[in-house]
Amino acid sequence: MQERMGNPALVIPEAMQALAALSKIPADTGLSPKLLELVNLRASQINGCSVCVDGHPRIAKKLGETDERLFAVSAWRDSPYFSDAERAALELTEAVTRVSDRADPVPDAIWDEATRHYDGKSLAALVIAIANINVWNRLNIATRQIAGAWKP
């Protein structure tokens, strides 16, 4: 497969600046960079974004994430490696990423569980992080970006 064009965020530098600024908010708000990489990986797995499925584990490894946890992200419900707060974030990530899969995309039970672990500001930052990785996934997929070309 060959890419259709360069990533739109690279073609339009103002878009890259905006997305980069948006991506800083969750960590600046105090969310764990490791948690954010788990969120990025899970959304990317769901969306089938090979660029991000290839790249985000590399970032997570640099942050000290373990292979066991990275290998288990797609099966986090059945894995002993994640905290309750991480599980809440991963469940919210799945719901927000799969908005067209059900009539109530983010049921109260999922939202309420997230609010048990994240205060208003950190929950807002988590939702921003989930939205942002979904934007990157869609840019990469639409333009057929090649896995392995991005080496974070």
Q: Residue 63 CA to chain centroid, in angstroms?
A: 15
Q: How far is CA 132 from CA 24, 68, 84, 91, 137, in A?
A: 10, 25, 23, 16, 9
Q: Which amino acid is at 45?
A: Q
Q: How far apart are CA 76 and CA 80, in angstroms?
A: 8
Q: What is the pLDDT of residue 23?
A: 96
Q: What is the pLDDT of residue 1?
A: 80
32-143: CATH topology: AhpD-like (1.20.1290)
Q: What is the pLDDT of residue 152?
A: 86
> Would you give per-residue pLDDT tens digits along the chain (152 residues)?
899 999 999 999 999 999 999 999 999 999 999 999 999 999 999 999 999 999 999 999 999 999 999 999 999 999 999 999 999 999 999 999 999 988 999 999 999 999 999 999 999 999 999 999 999 999 999 999 999 888 88
Q: What are the extents of the domains in the chain?
A: 32-143
Q: How far apart are CA 5 and CA 21, in angstroms?
A: 23
Q: What is the pLDDT of residue 89?
A: 98
Q: Which of 81, 80, 78, 91 is nearest to 118 (CA)?
A: 91
Contact 129, 43 (CB under 8 A): no
Q: What is the DSSP string of 18-70?
A: HHHHHHHHHHHTT--HHHHHHHHHHHHHHHT-HHHHHHHHHHHHHTT--HHHH
